[in-house]
Amino acid sequence: MALSRRGTGVRTTTHAFWSQVHPVFMLPPLAASLFGAILARDVVPSLAAVHVVAMFAAVYTAHVKDGYVDFHVRGEDDDHPLTERGCRVGLALSTTVFAACVVFLGVAVDLVAVALTVPTWLIAYHHAPQLDTNPLTATTGYPLGISLSLLGGFYVQAEAFAAVPIGFAVVFLVLLSGVKVIDDAQDYDYDRSIEKRTVAVTVGPTRAYDVAYGLMATALLAVVAFAVARVFPPSSALAALAFAAVAAVARRAEPDLATMLLIRGAYVFLAILVAAVWFEPLVGTA
């Protein structure tokens, strides 16, 4: 049986599987893993690479499962490149890769590393159709995965917890939850028609925007407060200012454009934080 709905052959099938790699949503969890490793200072490349691959496999699982549910089960999407069998094969492959990474981390690090990694796959696999129908879990699932990716990336290097990575994980959870509320607002009309209870459907689009920007403002103020308290590097406050500028523009845009701006603003936010952490010793000795 064919794995691709576009036809048969190695090239067509490979292209169908590769289509489930969505860089816009794939890169943040991978970057968060590496950011966590950087926070640990002494990076073991092999451990960092395995954790990144595990995060890739988890997010790939989410994309395949979400596409399967939206097209083959719910009939929401107009098209999908994989057949039902193709989706099942994709899920099996990504889960196998993830499991292999988890076993490696369990042996090379410890069971705490496993406990921080496994929930990312559980969130990914159960996002649709279980978690995406509740306003709380639909909003926080992806941000929580990124926060766990950051914490896991740190732990597999340091084999310990620390205030800085925990603080950053909380900031990303709150900030990206705000972005996710805006993202979900794009589908308000359709989600309402099928009784899919996102924040926008639950409280209305106007109040959803207030909730979203309230969450983002809270996260940015937390970054500034941590920077002033010198829990975070002082220059990390620049990341909050940069994202705030993007959010101010996005506030006046439609949900689809606002989401695009905010996601890219999150990239800038993370990049500045990485630079702040990377050069913190130079700042401290200046």
Calculate the alpha carbon distances from 205 to 54, 116, 134, 212 in Å: 35, 34, 16, 10
Note the pLDDT of residue 30: 96
pLDDT tens-digit series, residues 143-181 = 999 999 999 999 999 999 999 999 999 999 999 999 999
* Three-point CA angle 192, 193, 198, nearest 5°: 25
Beta-carbon neighbour count of residue 107 at 10 Å?
10
Where exactly are the structural domains of the chain?
21-159, 162-285
Angle in degrees, 0-180, between the axes of helices 163-185 and 205-228, rounded to the nearest 10? 160
d(CA 152, CA 145): 10
Token pair, residue 241, equals 């200012």
Q: For position 105, what pLDDT does the model report?
A: 98
Per-residue pLDDT, 247: 96
Low-confidence ranges of the chain (pLDDT < 50): 281-286
CB 219 within 8 A of CB 243: no
Q: What is the pLDDT of residue 279?
A: 80
Identify the pLDDT of residue 190: 82
Contact 141, 235 (CB under 8 A): no
pLDDT for residue 74:
83
Q: 53 φ, ψ to 5°?
A: -60, -40
- How far apart are alpha carbons 107 and 46 in whole angstroms? 13
pTM above 0.85, yes or no: yes
